[in-house]
Each structure stands twice: as C-alpha cells, then as structure tokens.
C-alpha cells in the first residue's frame, strides 16, 4: 500500500500546483500520513483513517489560517480603495457617526466615524486614519 499513498500524494501535489486551492495540497499531506501509517505496518483501515483525519484536520483548521495569511496584500502593492486603508486624512468639517468630510490624498471624501473604533465627534482640522471604505464614504478614527 505504500506505493498507493505515494502515488496519491504525488497526484494531489500536481493538482495543487495546477489549481492553488490548498485543498489538494492538504489531501497530499493526508496521503503522506497514510503512507507513514503504511510504512510502520498499520492495517489498511488504520491507514485510511489516518489519511482522512490528517486531511480533514488540514481542511478545517489549517486551510482557513493559510488562506488568511496568503491573502494579505502588502501595503505598497494595494490599488484602488484598498490602498486607502490606513492612510492619513484631515477632517474638513466635524465628522460624526452620520456625516462629515475629509481631505484624503488631495481629494475631498465624505466621511463618518467607524462605529467600531470611534464614538465622539471629531472636529475640523484633525488628523485621522482611514479604517475602511464603505462605497464612496471613508470610515475614520482619530490618530491620538
């Protein structure tokens, strides 16, 4: 059975390189677990259970963490509204949870307080940071 697990792992790795979904890669790791169980002489049922458990653990626990880690885009390579996250702006008028305006990268943007990060209104001429963009509105919080 060692040859079966080795072949399965190799095919799964090839499919992972072709698809980059992280499913086949974790299936290959599970097949390697089955191969390890076969190498120590475990019965076929145990080999299959080890391969299934390792694969399932990888898909449930490891894949979400890996997707989150690999989906991060470095600040210097962000484009569009993603490039505005974390940028500094200057309030042009009082900004509340419902309305306001900021000067952001030379442009005037409608703004409002990010309800998760700020509660008190921010007066004019205050430096703020952009936490996210909601449509055409910048959600902000004070820098201090």
Distance CA 120, CA 113 (A): 8
Model confidence over 97-141: pLDDT tens digits? 999 999 998 999 999 999 988 889 999 999 999 999 998 999 999
Tally of domains within the chain = 2
CATH number, position 96: 2.40.50.140
Same domain, 11 and 58: yes
Check pLDDT > 80 for residue 22. Answer: yes
Give the Å distances, CA to CA, from 18 to 12, 13, 91, 93, 143.
Answer: 10, 9, 48, 52, 45
Q: Are residues 113 and 134 in the same domain?
A: yes
Which of 70, 97, 130 corresponds to the end of one domain?
70
**pLDDT at 75 (0 to 100):** 57
16, 50, 70 — which closes off a domain?
70
H runs (alpha helix) in 40-80: 44-57, 63-70
**Do 6 and 28 belong to one domain?**
yes
pLDDT at position 80, please? 74
Q: State if pTM tops 0.95.
A: no
Same domain, 49 and 19: yes
Provide the pLDDT for residue 119.
Answer: 86
Whether residues 46 and 95 fall in one domain: no
> How confident is the model at residue 21, as a pLDDT?
84
Q: Which two tokens stand for residue 24?
A: 């086949």
Mean residue pLDDT across the chain: 90
Both 91 and 132 in one domain: the answer is yes
- My answer on whether 31 and 84 are in the same domain is no
Q: Which domain holds residue 10?
A: 2-70
């Amino acid at each position: 059975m060692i040859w079966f697990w080795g072949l399965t792992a190799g095919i799964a790795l090839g499919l992972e390189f072709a698809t980059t979904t992280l499913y086949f890669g974790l299936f290959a790791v599970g097949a390697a677990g089955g191969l390890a169980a076969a190498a120590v002489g475990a019965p076929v049922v145990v080999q299959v259970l080890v391969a299934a458990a390792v694969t399932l653990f990888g898909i449930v626990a490891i894949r979400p963490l890996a997707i989150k880690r690999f989906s991060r885009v470095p600040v210097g390579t962000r484009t569009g509204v993603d490039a505005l996250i974390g940028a500094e702006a200057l309030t042009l008028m009082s900004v509340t949870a419902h309305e306001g305006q900021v000067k952001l990268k030379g442009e005037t943007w409608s703004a409002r307080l990010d309800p998760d990060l700020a509660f008190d209104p921010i007066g004019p001429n205050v430096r703020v940071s952009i936490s996210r963009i909601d449509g055409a509105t910048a959600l902000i919080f004070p820098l201090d």
